[in-house]
Amino acid sequence: MKTFRIKLILLIFCTILLLCGCEKESPYIFDIPDFNITDSEPAWGPCGEWIAFSHGDTVPGKSGIYKISPDGEEIHQLHGGGQAPAWSPCGQWIAFSQGAQIWKKKINGDSLIQLTFEGRNFHPAWSPDGNYIAYQQSVCGDIQCGLWLINLNDTTCYLIALYGVFPDFHPEKKTILYRRRWVEDSQVLGDKMFTYNYMTDETTFIISLQEPNHDNRYLRINSDGKKIVFSSKPRTGKRQIWTMNIDGTDRKQLTHTQAYSCDWSPCGKYIVYTDSRRENGRLWIMDADGSNKRQLTFEHHF
């Protein structure tokens, strides 16, 4: 009996080690069992000519960050590996996460520059003036976890919102939209959304989101600063794409199959997103009201 107990303890310990060693690079990657995100985290370029996105592949060298034209006719790999691309306002650079650090790279392929060197950092967003990159740091310890800001002029990094995640810059105001989990009495009730003014160091509460918007990710503000598109999931059920006004009113569900990450076109007329059903996992484009859905990326592109 004693030998059996020792073997059982060793088995449990080894299982824990195995699970810890299998952590994915990006947080928030797991969802319901029929979930698939082969092409995800789209970012529509500032001029509208290209959509950058993350592509996962079983063939060595094919995974990485790509750009595709909105008509699907042209596609090019921008970087081998990497996740969550974000365009610079001039459209000449992309920021992204790789190896749990933030990098930037010119889209012509040169000038790869590492921007962060500690912690685990994801989901960069580039300010409209080109001077800042916001990102989330996911390790809570010696480095505080939450929303951080890089000043690209002097490369300084500083915390702006404890536990803040999924940042996006307002196109006109000097503010960053983000969300934080809403927890009371050790129970997760949903999310709270805020804006942070990086000129005045002021934080403003926007709205609390609950069912059916229990878990909300990939917040994106449209070009006129009036609406937000985001990926949202109820406690039980499938993740979908929603929109709402910048003040949290007029929430609308746009997809009804299953969907994940998303972004606006620069003109605000279209939304690109991932159809995250197991049999798909590709990028799609729809009108801003959820109509006229069409698939953008296919297996033959890679």
The tens digit of pLDDT for each residue in 37-48 reads 999 999 999 999
**Taking residues 6-29, what's their average pLDDT?**
42
Ranges of H-type helices in 211-266: none
How far is 57 from 30, CA to CA, in rounded Å?
Answer: 17
Question: pLDDT-based confidence at 121, cuts 50/70/90?
Answer: very high
Q: Please give the pLDDT value at position 33.
A: 67
What pLDDT digit, counting tens, does each position of 226-255 carry? Answer: 999 999 999 999 999 999 999 999 999 999
Tell me, which fold does domain 36-301 have in CATH?
Answer: Neuraminidase (2.120.10)
Locate tokens 């740091």: which residue?
Answer: 137
Q: What percent of the chain has pLDDT over 70?
A: 89
Give all strands of the β-sheet with 240-245 in edge-to-edge order: 215-221, 227-233, 240-245, 252-253
Residues 127 and 168: their CA atoms lie apart, in Å, by 8
Please give the share of the chain, as a percent, with pLDDT higher than 90: 84
Contacts of 9 (CB under 8 A, 6+ apart): none
Contacts (Cβ under 8 Å, ≥6 apart) of 218: 41, 166, 230, 231, 260, 261, 262, 263
Q: Are 107 and 90 in contact (CB under 8 A)?
A: no
* Region 97-116 average pLDDT: 95
Contact indicator for 165, 139 with CB cutoff of 8 Å:
no
| Separation of alpha carbons 123 and 268, rounded Å | 22
Nearest to 152 by CA among 209, 95, 107, 202: 95
Rounded distance between C-alpha atoms, residue 146 and residue 72, angstroms:
36
Distance from first CA to last CA of the chain, Å, rounded?
A: 55
Amino acid identity at 143 = I
Q: So what's the pLDDT on residue 16?
A: 38
| Residue 288 identity (one-letter amino acid) | A
Residue-range domain boundaries for the chain: 36-301
Predicted pLDDT of residue 10: 43
Question: Within its chain, how far is the Cα of 201 from the centroid?
Answer: 24
Closest alpha carbon to 53 in 91, 79, 89: 79
- Is 90 exceeded by the pLDDT of residue 134? yes
pLDDT, tens digit (0-9, with 9 covering 90-100), for 159-217 = 999 999 999 999 999 999 999 999 999 999 999 999 999 999 999 999 999 999 999 99
Computed over every residue of the chain, the mean pLDDT equals 90
